[in-house]
Amino acid sequence: MPILILGIDIISEHPKRFAVVSWFNGKLERKGEFTLYRLIRFIQSKRPDIVAMDSVTELGDDLRKFLRALPNETKLVQVTGRPGEQRSLWSLAKEHGIRAGDKFDPYEEAKVCALLAARGVGYEVLAFEDEVVIKVTRGRSHGKGGWSQDRYRKRVHNLVRDKVREIEDRLKRADVPFDLEVEEKDYGLAKGEFKVYASREELAGLIRPMRGGDVEVRIYPVERAEMGFAPLKSERAIKERRSIIVGIDPGITVGIAAIDLSGNIVALHSERNMPVGEVFRFISDVGHPVMVATDVNPAPGFVEKIARSFKAQLFVPRESLRVEEKNELLRNLGVSVEDDHQRDALAAAYKAYLRLKPKLDHVEAKLREAGLTKRADEVKALVIQGYNLGEAMQRVTLRERPKREEEKPEEKPSVDLGPYLRRIRELEKRIELLERENEELRGIIREQRKTIGRFERRLVDYDEEVRKKILRERELEAKVKRIERLERELREAKAIIERLSRDLAQVKRMNVIEIRGSAVPLKVMEVLSWRELERLEREIGIRKGDVLFVINPAGAGKAIAESLVEKKIRALITEKPLPLAVVEVLKEAHVPFFTSQELDVKRVDEFAVVERETLEKAIGELLAKWAEEDRERETEKFLRLIEEYRIERVKELMRKAEDESKSH
């Protein structure tokens, strides 16, 4: 796969400036000079696979900041090796056949760093544990006082609770181990904090950060107390460090055992609640593992993670080791252990060694024949890593040659060192003077920081007084506005009470009339429409013989009039004239209809009554009038039928007379 590597080297300390060279698919390109801020922005935009340096100490106090700013997939690599085991950049370049120009040119050093990293040389700097903290909190301030703020606060706490449950469910379904602490409030949660035992890469796509809403989700990787260093290629670590076989027993108490390639125990340890980073550091201090072993099948994820970190082979027995078998292995070793965890780890490591022993013995025999017994462990480790014996021996012998060339004694130059020594003494005096001056300036800075702190505290006190004064003024203003609003509401309430009192008096009078039986209650509709008719049926009901009162019948049609006829209402009273289509239907069905002016309807809001005597009289008169009109129509119809019959009879007689005359 084509990868992008950035080689960087420092140009100046104050301010920090770096030379940057990129390596992509075999092509080198000088990118220019960058400040630390611009370098971080450039890395975040390009997202390289590796950022290579000869020494990460060049970043100084900004190292942690730099590592936190790197994209998840970008590795920071120190090409010269682990701290305390570092080699010269130029000797590494010579060993790997890299031509170097001016050794004092930062761009040349950056180029060499990029080329070495491209060959798999160097150690990745590990700043973070395989642990992540996920914090779920509210996203905004609730504000102060009032029912609306209380409701909003409870709503937000419920949202926080729901988000915590969602994340908890996702982690459980993904089988990711975690611990959870919550703070309960308002039958919800004020916050939730997860401690997840997985790396940032493992959580990618599973949990996403959220900002800017009612709920915030923030993800923080857990930083290591001390930097870790893992080789880019285990082959490199094999050459530089002691090769070991490591057995691990994971759990609440972690057991670790390490043996060398001759079967000798070099480390045995167990510790409760030991994080992954501590396990990694403990093993790194002992040596470089070429194989990581477990005593159970299948291998636990914890053991697989350690093996991947060291680029080591993973040993898993064909079936989980029994307790009797583990005890037998320890008896063969002739050692005693402190607890079962150390026993399980040592049994796993020794079982892996026994599996490899025939191959290792064969390698050692061949190396004795070739006279390479001094580099036996390195060759054995390469064979374990997958190289065949010939390839491993060739790589070791090739590495020996540059060393021997470097070990040749150099001829002493015949140069007068006096001026250089005098210059060195002058510079040492100048350094001593600058150090004293630096210490004095640091003292001044400390005093100024104390003064600034004192003024900042006074400013905070002053700000608090101003804030309290502003709050008092705001509270007073809010109270004045509240009083004005309440007075306005009081006036409106008095007006409503006065109107309702008048209506109540009218209703009482209407009730008296109704109780005496001298009035008929009317069922009131605002408009003559289907919706209003359904409302009236739902709330009060329409029964046979009811009298309806419609305020505005405009727009009503034939269908709704036919529906009223089907309901067999006794009469319909309206404030405005009825549409012609409704009139025709009601008149044909002999359902009386009147206007409120004709019957003197008394109405208060949704109540209306009409005097019974007046209503009965009007209905009787209207029905009598319609009956008379019906009789007149029937008479006219009868006379019209007689006339039609007479005309038809005359026509028929005339046809007969014509027929008879034609026959004679």
- Mind spelling out the 3-state secondary structure of 380-437? HHHHHHCCCHHHHHHHHHHHHHHHHHHCCCCCCCCCCCHHHHHHHHHHHHHHHHHHHH
**What mean pLDDT do residues 113-127 have?**
88
Nearest CA to 237 out of 128, 397, 78 is that of 78
Domain hosting 184: range is: 128-224
**Same structural domain, 534 and 598:** yes
Q: What share of the chain is helix, strand, coil (3-state, %, to 5)?
A: 55, 20, 25
Same domain, 48 and 8: yes
Could you tell me if 218 and 310 lie in one domain? no
Same structural domain for residues 367 and 306?
Answer: yes
pLDDT at residue 402 above 60?
no
* Same domain membership, residue 151 and residue 89: no
Of residues 60 and 663, the one with the higher pLDDT is 60
Residue 218's alpha-carbon distances to 137, 151, 252, 297, 476, in angstroms, are 9, 25, 27, 37, 39
Predicted confidence at residue 113, as pLDDT, reads: 92
Supply the pLDDT for residue 149: 66
Q: Mean pLDDT, the chain, as a whole number?
A: 82
DSSP 609-657: EEEHHHHHHHHHHHHHHHHHHHHHHHHHHHHHHHHHHHHHHHHHHHHHH
The pLDDT of residue 234: 56
Which residues, 6+ apart, have CB-to-CB distance to 329 below 8 Å? 346, 347, 350, 351, 354
| Same domain as 402, residue 262 | yes
Q: Tell whether 299 and 203 lie within a shared domain.
A: no
Residue 16 maps to a domain: yes
Which distant-in-sequence residues (6+ apart) come within 8 Å of 346 by Cβ? 247, 255, 257, 259, 265, 268, 329, 330, 333, 335, 337
Q: Which of 62, 89, 77, 90 is nearest to 6 (CA)?
A: 77
- Are residues 568 and 483 part of one domain? no
Residue 470: pLDDT over 80: yes
Task: Tell me which residue has tokens 């920081």.
Answer: 449
Q: Are residues 277 and 376 in the same domain?
A: yes
CATH at 24: 3.30.420
Least confident of 181-185, 238-242, 595-599: 238-242
pLDDT value for 196? 83
Is 256 or 199 the better-scoring residue by pLDDT?
Answer: 256
Query: Cα dihedral sign for 231, 237, 242, 245?
Result: positive
| pLDDT tens sequence across 304-360 | 878 877 778 889 988 888 888 888 888 888 888 888 898 999 999 998 888 888 888
Beta pairing, strands 593-595 & 571-574: parallel
Q: 664: helix, coil or strand? A: coil
Q: What is the structure's pLDDT at 2? A: 55
User: Phi first, then psi: what are they for 194, rounded to 5°?
Assistant: -100, 135
Indicate if 338 and 385 belong to the same structural domain.
yes
Q: Are residues 401 and 466 in the same domain?
A: no
Q: Of 473, 497, 516, which residue constitutes the final position of a domain?
A: 516
- Sorted by sequence, the CB contacts under 8 Å of residue 255 that are 6+ apart come out as 247, 248, 249, 269, 270, 339, 340, 341, 342, 343, 344, 345, 346
In a domain, 429, yes or no: no
In angstroms, the CA 538 to CA 85 distance is 91
Q: Percentage of the chain surpassing pLDDT 90?
A: 13
Task: Give the CATH number for residue 179.
Answer: 3.30.70
- 164-178, 415-429, 481-495, 526-540: which is most confident: 481-495
Structural domain total, the chain = 5
Per-residue pLDDT, 412: 42
Q: Would you state the pLDDT for residue 245?
A: 92
3-class secondary structure, 551: strand
* Strand ranges across the sheet with 607-611: 593-595, 571-574, 547-552, 519-527, 607-611, 602-604
